[in-house]
Structure 1
Amino acid sequence: MRRGRLQIAEDMNLEARENGGTRKSRRREALLAEMESIFLEEGFAAVTVDGLAKRLKCSKRTLYEIAPTKQDIVLLVVERWLARVRRMGRIAALGQDGPQRRIFAYVRPGVTETKKASRKFLEDIQSFEPALLALKDHQKQRMEMLEEIIEDGISKGRFRKCHAHLFAEILLAAVNRINEPDCLDAAGVGFSEAFDELYDIILNGVLV
Structure 2
Amino acid sequence: MEQRATFATTRRTELFDALVALFLAEGFAHLTLDTIAARLKCSKSTLYTLAGSKEQLVTAATVHFFKRATATVETDVAAANGARERITTYLTAVGEALAVASDRFMTDLDHFTPAREVYERNTRIAARRVQELIDEGVADGEFRGVHAAFAADLAATMMVRIQQGGVRARTGLDDSAAYRELAAVLTHGISA
> Which of the five TM-score ranges fits, normalised by the shorter chain?
0.7 to 0.9
| Contact 1:147 1:164 survives alignment (8 Å) | yes
CA RMSD between the two structures: 2.7
Q: Which has the higher contact order (CA 8 A, sep 6+)?
A: 2
- 2:110 aligned partner: 126
| Shift in CA distance, 129/117, structure 1 to aligned 2, threshold 3 Å | same
Alignment of 1:1-208 (within 5 A): 22-172=6-156, 176=162, 180=168, 183-184=171-172, 195=180, 201-204=185-188
The TM-score normalised by the length of structure 1 is 0.76
| Contact 1:150 1:164 survives alignment (8 Å) | yes
Displacement of 1:160: 0.7
- CA distance in 2 between partners of 1:181 and 1:115 (Å): 16
Moved more, 91-100 or 140-149: 91-100
Displacement of 1:130: 0.8
The one-character-per-residue Cα deviations of 1:49-107 (angstroms, maximum 9, x if unpaired) are 11111111111111101111111111010011112222222222121121110101111
| Contact 1:100 1:153 survives alignment (8 Å) | yes
- CA distance in 1 between partners of 2:9 and 2:125 (Å): 27
- CA distance in 2 between partners of 1:37 and 1:122 (Å): 13
Report the identity percentage: 27
- CA distance in 2 between partners of 1:146 and 1:200 (Å): 13
The one-character-per-residue Cα deviations of 1:109-162 (angstroms, maximum 9, x if unpaired) are 211121111111111112211111111110000001110010011111111101
- CA distance in 2 between partners of 1:179 and 1:114 (Å): 14
| Shift in CA distance, 135/198, structure 1 to aligned 2, threshold 3 Å | closer
Moved more, 172-181 or 34-43: 172-181
| Shift in CA distance, 142/52, structure 1 to aligned 2, threshold 3 Å | same
Q: Where does structure 1 lack aligned partners over 5 or more consecutive residues?
A: 1-20
| Shift in CA distance, 97/66, structure 1 to aligned 2, threshold 3 Å | same
| Shift in CA distance, 26/45, structure 1 to aligned 2, threshold 3 Å | same
- CA distance in 2 between partners of 1:193 and 1:129 (Å): 24
SS of the residue 1:22 aligns to: helix
| Shift in CA distance, 45/86, structure 1 to aligned 2, threshold 3 Å | same
Code of the residue aligned with 1:170 in structure 2: it is L
| Shift in CA distance, 159/125, structure 1 to aligned 2, threshold 3 Å | same
The TM-score normalised by the length of structure 2 is 0.82
| Contact 1:86 1:142 survives alignment (8 Å) | no
Code of the residue aligned with 1:93 in structure 2: it is V
SS of the residue 1:162 aligns to: coil
Code of the residue aligned with 1:78 in structure 2: it is T
